[in-house]
């Protein structure tokens, strides 16, 4: 007999074939709250800061995260696998404990992908959210508010068919007051295990110590595949609870929420992120009565763990077959595809090489978001800074300018005058059940979502002298994503701050509804922005207001607290050392007594589009005004006017950015380019595998973005 048959390999192989996984459970929420005196002291500090600046002490600033994934999301489960650098299960209970004890948030929401939520996992999500809320001793003044929700994750292969990702956040959590099913976007991969039969055997064998984790992963997909689709065209209230419900576009999503009659926010996010957004996509196609709900879609996630979706740039239209040549501020990836192929020619100056480069550019344009697949063997470094926004703060990879917050604020539907009325928020989009993970820039392998073992692989396949055509519709979602490159663009997440009249659920939700909110890049910066002379009195950020004459504004900002290492004593009293390490990654929000400086406040002014031929770039003034602060740790205050407003016949939008003193941040400089005298990237050094001598940390100015104030001229009284 072959000796292998008598050894452990045969037994392991048979086990790998025969054993099955287990259902991923929700975990157990720690049934304790933060010390009441600790919460009260923080609230008193927030109110005192407002009073010092002449603001109403009746409102306080609370911080939260409205975009959290757990391992109930299939992609989050994937990156939890040890072979991908993951650390195992992080179910809803972990997210609750993290929000309460590790990041010490005031509120958060769970937003697992509806495309993978089975009826059982949705039931367990609802139960876990209620358990998280029940841990507080005073529901009228809770230490933490937990919102229930999900993510509608739509992806189109063309600009015309793409609407993007939106988080649904529900006001209520009680059974009977929330939908019995989350509403998903269409996804043809639903329930299909993303690995083949051979890999199903090899993955447990390759990591035998953690074999159960892989079997559980396969079981998750088997559970998904067992859920029958809901009947199409039936009122959502008449469908069975245990089917998989789909809304094909935002219009249908809003229609289904209307049928349920629930209070719900629908928050677009990751809009400018090019990893899955086709070139040429803009928000304009959603600015219609059918695809936009102005009652629900009132917040815009301007910053997350994928970077910013704020700044507009007037770049060439990449939906055309022509690939634009490089300009001073932009290198198209289709152009760089041609240059990579050119570098592989024996004679780069030959006519035949020109033809190959032109073919590579055409193939890249035709492949859309899958364009990187058209150049076999290209390394991450070979692409230089193509597709990236030079000079943007923490830019989203392959930024799509027409999907940014500034573009949205400038757009007008000229047929009916409709406009987006977005308030700006930040959140994390964490897939490691760590809401509010931006308080410390430590341990990127556990804090951010990058899959670094894959990223470190570099190129895809063998380098070829010829480009290859790609049919995007034939590529699965995972094949379209340039995971290796994206690793350098994952960052710690942002926060949403609300000016609330209390700590309870309704106070937080009401502040969100009136857009009296702002976003930060992760630090707990305090920010106020008011229009002082609106016809109705002082108008806070997020307001729609009118003025007679010249508008006058006031801005105040106070920097975030420095952080002590480790966790506060109160956290050690609530969680044991093992749970602090597994859930908090060993570090908690632990404020010192000193604050960081606010270095500057910038004002952005945007005029509403009034004609179809008006360029968005000409309507956006960024910055329109910049105020240098004194550097006092007590904060920065200033007032300004807009004398050019008088006599305007259109709405003008104003918002402010508060810029904090430089501090280190993971992937603060995503590509770390060496640049020539013109500012062109000539060598990229992306961060794919941090080590002791390369932490992937660069200094940035953490910041806060106010919600806009929408100002129009008051009617003239005759």
For residue 699 the two structure tokens come to 């200094």
Q: What is the mean pLDDT of the chain?
A: 91
Per-residue pLDDT, 580: 97
Taking only Cα atoms into account, the Rg of the chain, rounded to an integer number of angstroms, comes to: 26
Task: Report residue 17's pLDDT band, with 50, 70 and 90 as the boundaries.
Answer: low
Overall average pLDDT of the 246-254 stretch: 97
Task: Report residue 321's pLDDT band, with 50, 70 and 90 as the boundaries.
Answer: low
Instruction: Report whether 327 contacts 678 (CB < 8 A).
Output: no
- Predicted confidence (pLDDT) per residue in 546-588, tens digit: 999 999 999 999 999 999 999 999 999 999 999 999 999 999 9
Beta-bridge mates of residue 664: 699
Tell which residue, 404, 158, 407, has the closest CA to residue 280: 158
Spatial separation of the C-alpha atoms in residues 651 and 348, rounded to whole Å: 53
Q: Give the lowest-confidence range in 440-454, 613-627, 654-668, 693-707.
A: 440-454
Per-residue pLDDT, 51: 82
Identify whether 623 is preceded by a cis peptide bond (ω within 30 of 0): yes
Overall average pLDDT of the 94-109 stretch: 98
Q: Is 26 helix (H, G, I), strand (E, B) or coil?
A: coil
Per-residue pLDDT, 166: 97
- Predicted confidence (pLDDT) per residue in 605-626, tens digit: 999 999 988 999 999 999 999 9
Q: What b/e string do you get for 188-211 counting C-beta neighbours within 10 Å, with b at 16 or more?
A: eebbebebeeeebbbbbeeeeebb
Per-residue pLDDT, 126: 98
User: Cα separations (Å) of 20 from 12, 16, 200?
Assistant: 13, 8, 11
Beta-bridge mates of residue 674: 683
Q: CB within 8 A of 543, min separation 6: which ones?
A: 514, 515, 531, 534, 709, 710
Per-residue pLDDT, 55: 77
User: Cα separations (Å) of 5 from 19, 202, 490?
Assistant: 19, 18, 46
pLDDT at residue 426 is higher than 90:
yes
Tell which residue, 325, 317, 327, has the closest CA to residue 679: 327
Ramachandran assignment for 19, one of left (phi > 0), alpha (psi -120 to 50 degrees), beta (any other):
beta
Per-residue pLDDT, 461: 73
Overall average pLDDT of the 134-157 stretch: 95
Q: Where are the domains of the chain?
A: 20-313+395-461+497-522, 316-388
Q: What is the per-residue DSSP string for 632-694?
A: -TT-EEEEEE-TT-TT--S-EEEEEEEEEPPEEEETSSSS--EE-TTS-EEE----SS-BTTB
Write the burial class of residue 363 (CB in 10 Å: 0-12 exposed, 13-18 middle, 19+ buried). buried
Instruction: Report whether 628 contacts 600 (CB < 8 A).
Output: yes
Per-residue pLDDT, 76: 95
Task: Report residue 19's pLDDT band, with 50, 70 and 90 as the boundaries.
Answer: low
- Predicted confidence (pLDDT) per residue in 479-510, tens digit: 778 888 888 899 999 999 999 999 999 999 99
Spatial separation of the C-alpha atoms in residues 106 and 145, rounded to whole Å: 6
pLDDT at residue 377 is higher than 70:
yes
Spatial separation of the C-alpha atoms in residues 160 and 291, rounded to whole Å: 13
- Predicted confidence (pLDDT) per residue in 204-221, tens digit: 998 999 999 999 999 999
Spatial separation of the C-alpha atoms in residues 6 and 612, rounded to whole Å: 77
Spatial separation of the C-alpha atoms in residues 31 and 258, rounded to whole Å: 35
Per-residue pLDDT, 648: 86
Q: Give the lowest-confidence range in 87-96, 151-160, 302-311.
A: 151-160
For residue 631 the two structure tokens come to 């550097």
Helix H or strand E segment including 50? helix 36-52
pLDDT at residue 716 is higher than 80:
no
Helix H or strand E segment including 93? helix 92-97
Per-residue pLDDT, 157: 86
Tell which residue, 325, 301, 327, has the closest CA to residue 390: 327
Per-residue pLDDT, 717: 63
Per-residue pLDDT, 3: 44
Per-residue pLDDT, 469: 92
Ramachandran assignment for 696, one of left (phi > 0), alpha (psi -120 to 50 degrees), beta (any other):
left
pLDDT at residue 186 is higher than 80:
yes
pLDDT at residue 696 is higher than 90:
no
Q: How many helices (H) and strands (E) does the chain have?
A: 20, 28
Q: Which residue has the tokens 């007679």?
A: 548
User: Cα separations (Å) of 347 from 343, 351, 363, 462?
Assistant: 9, 9, 22, 20
Tell me which of 661 and 685 has the higher pLDDT.
661
For residue 324 the two structure tokens come to 């634009």
pLDDT at residue 692 is higher than 60:
no
Task: Report residue 15's pLDDT band, with 50, 70 and 90 as the boundaries.
Answer: low
Per-residue pLDDT, 2: 40
Overall average pLDDT of the 339-355 stretch: 91
Q: Which residue has the tokens 């939008």?
A: 653
Write the burial class of residue 578 (CB in 10 Å: 0-12 exposed, 13-18 middle, 19+ buried). exposed
Instruction: Report whether 311 contacts 389 (CB < 8 A).
Output: yes
**Dihedral (Cα; 482, 484, 485, 487), 10-degree rounding:** 120
Overall average pLDDT of the 535-540 stretch: 95
**Dihedral (Cα; 686, 690, 691, 696), 10-degree rounding:** 70
pTM for the structure as a whole: 0.94
Q: Give the lowest-confidence range in 67-76, 303-312, 689-698.
A: 689-698
- Predicted confidence (pLDDT) per residue in 102-133, tens digit: 999 999 999 999 999 999 999 999 999 999 99
Instruction: Report whether 182 contacts 110 (CB < 8 A).
Output: no
Tell me which of 8 and 137 has the higher pLDDT.
137
Q: What's 101's DSSP letter?
A: I
Longest dimension (CA), the chain: 105
Determine the Cα angle at 228 with ends 224 and 230, to 5°.
120
Per-residue pLDDT, 319: 66
Question: In this prediction, what percent of the chain has a pLDDT beyond 90?
Answer: 75
């Amino acid at each position: 007999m072959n000796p292998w048959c008598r050894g452990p390999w045969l037994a392991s192989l048979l086990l790998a074939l025969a054993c099955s996984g287990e259902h991923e459970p929700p975990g157990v929420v720690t049934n304790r709250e933060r010390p009441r005196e600790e919460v009260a002291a923080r609230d008193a500090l927030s109110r005192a800061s407002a009073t010092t600046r002449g603001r109403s002490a009746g409102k306080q600033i609370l911080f939260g995260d409205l975009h959290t994934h757990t391992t109930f999301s299939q992609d989050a489960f994937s990156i939890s696998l040890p072979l991908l650098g993951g650390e195992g299960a992080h179910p809803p209970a972990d997210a609750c404990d993290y929000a309460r004890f590790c990041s010490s948030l005031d509120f958060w929401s769970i937003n697992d992908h509806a495309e993978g939520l089975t009826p059982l996992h949705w039931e367990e999500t609802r139960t876990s959210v209620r358990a998280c809320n029940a841990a507080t001793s005073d529901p009228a003044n809770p230490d933490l508010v937990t919102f229930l929700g999900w993510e509608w994750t739509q992806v189109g292969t063309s600009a015309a068919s793409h609407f993007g990702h939106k988080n649904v956040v529900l006001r209520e959590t009680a059974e009977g007051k929330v939908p019995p099913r989350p509403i998903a976007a269409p996804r043809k991969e639903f329930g299909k295990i993303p690995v083949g039969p051979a890999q199903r055997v090899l993955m447990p064998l390759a990591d035998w110590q953690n074999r159960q984790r892989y079997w559980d992963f396969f079981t998750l997909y088997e559970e998904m595949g067992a859920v029958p689709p809901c009947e199409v065209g039936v009122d959502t209230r008449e469908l069975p609870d245990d089917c998989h419900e789909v809304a094909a576009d935002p219009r249908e999503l809003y229609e289904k929420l209307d049928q349920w009659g629930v209070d719900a926010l629908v928050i677009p996010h990751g809009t400018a992120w090019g990893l899955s957004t086709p070139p040429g996509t803009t928000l304009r196609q959603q600015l219609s009565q059918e695809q936009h709900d102005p009652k629900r879609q009132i917040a815009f996630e301007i910053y997350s763990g994928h970077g910013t979706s704020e700044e507009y740039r007037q770049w060439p239209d990449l939906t055309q077959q022509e690939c634009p040549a490089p300009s001073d501020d932009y290198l198209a990836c289709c152009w760089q595809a041609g240059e990579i192929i050119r570098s592989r020619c024996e004679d780069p100056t030959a006519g035949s090489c020109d033809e190959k480069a032109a073919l590579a550019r055409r193939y890249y344009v035709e492949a859309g978001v899958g364009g990187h697949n058209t150049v076999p063997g290209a390394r991450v470094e070979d692409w230089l800074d193509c597709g990236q926004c030079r000079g943007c703060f923490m830019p989203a990879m392959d930024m799509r300018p027409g999907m940014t917050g500034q573009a949205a604020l400038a757009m007008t539907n000229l047929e009916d005058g409709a406009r987006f009325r977005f308030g700006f928020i930040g959140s994390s989009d964490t897939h490691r059940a760590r809401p509010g993970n931006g308080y410390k820039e430590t341990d990127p392998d556990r804090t951010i979502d990058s899959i670094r073992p894959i990223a470190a692989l570099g190129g895809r396949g063998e380098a070829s002298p010829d480009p290859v055509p790609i049919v995007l519709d034939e590529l699965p979602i995972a094949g379209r994503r340039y995971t290796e490159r994206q690793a350098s663009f994952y960052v710690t997440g942002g926060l949403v701050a609300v000016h609330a009249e209390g700590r309870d659920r309704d106070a937080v939700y009401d502040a969100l509804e009136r857009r009296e909110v702002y976003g930060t890049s992760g630090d707990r910066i305090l920010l106020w922005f008011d229009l002082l002379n609106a016809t109705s009195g002082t108008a806070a950020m997020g307001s729609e207001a009118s003025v007679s004459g010249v508008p006058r504004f006031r801005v105040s900002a106070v920097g975030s607290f420095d952080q002590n290492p480790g966790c506060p004593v109160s956290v050690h009293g609530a969680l044991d050392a093992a749970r602090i390490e597994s859930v908090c990654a060993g570090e908690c929000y632990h404020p010192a007594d000193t604050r960081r400086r606010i270095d500057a406040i910038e004002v952005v002014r945007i005029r509403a589009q009034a004609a179809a031929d008006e360029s968005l770039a000409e309507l956006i003034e960024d910055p329109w005004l910049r105020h240098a602060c004194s550097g006092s740790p007590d904060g920065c205050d200033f007032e300004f006017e807009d004398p050019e407003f008088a006599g305007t016949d259109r709405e003008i939008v104003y918002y402010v950015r508060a810029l904090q003193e430089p501090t280190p941040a993971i992937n603060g400089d995503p590509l770390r380019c060496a640049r020539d005298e013109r500012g062109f990237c000539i060598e990229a050094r992306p961060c794919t595998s941090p080590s002791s001598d390369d932490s992937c940390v660069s200094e940035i100015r953490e910041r806060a973005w106010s919600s806009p104030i929408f100002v129009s001229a008051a009617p003239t009284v005759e």
